[in-house]
Amino acid sequence: MAATATKDRIKTAEKAAHQGIDKTRTVIDENLSAAKDKVSHAAKEVRRAEGFLKEKKEHLADAARGKYEEAREGLNQKYEEAREGFHQASGKARDAARDNPALTVALAAGVGFCLGLLLARTRG
């Protein structure tokens, strides 16, 4: 009779162990399924964010290119205006030097004298 009771206890323990294992498997399967759903949802959100960021990047790149072109065109225009102004001023200076050679020589001598004084002071 003691042997039968021991066998019953072993069967009961085995049954309880199998039930515990089955419950554990069920919980693991449920948690795994929930984790898969969360990962799938996160992946969808990442793809959505990637598309959004790609669109924003392209928009910002286009805007930057536009601003660059505007700045480049503006600088080119200012350069051409300055170049034209320099050519006009140099032409006027050349004409003035031809019209008044004595004044040109006197101005050159005066500028040379002033530069000589300034250089002499910095060395002395």
Print the SS3 string covering 78-119.
HHHHHHHHHHHHHHHHHHHHHHCHHHHHHHHHHHHHHHHHHH
Instruction: Please say if the pLDDT value at position 124 is more than 80.
Output: no
Radius of gyration of the chain (CA): 46
Q: Give the mean pLDDT of the chain.
A: 91
Tell me: the pLDDT tens digits for 35-88?
A: 999 999 999 999 999 999 999 999 999 999 999 999 999 999 999 999 999 999
Share of the chain above pLDDT 90, in %: 61
pLDDT, position 43: 95
Per-residue tokens: 25: 């498997």
Nearest to 106 by CA among 96, 119, 95: 96
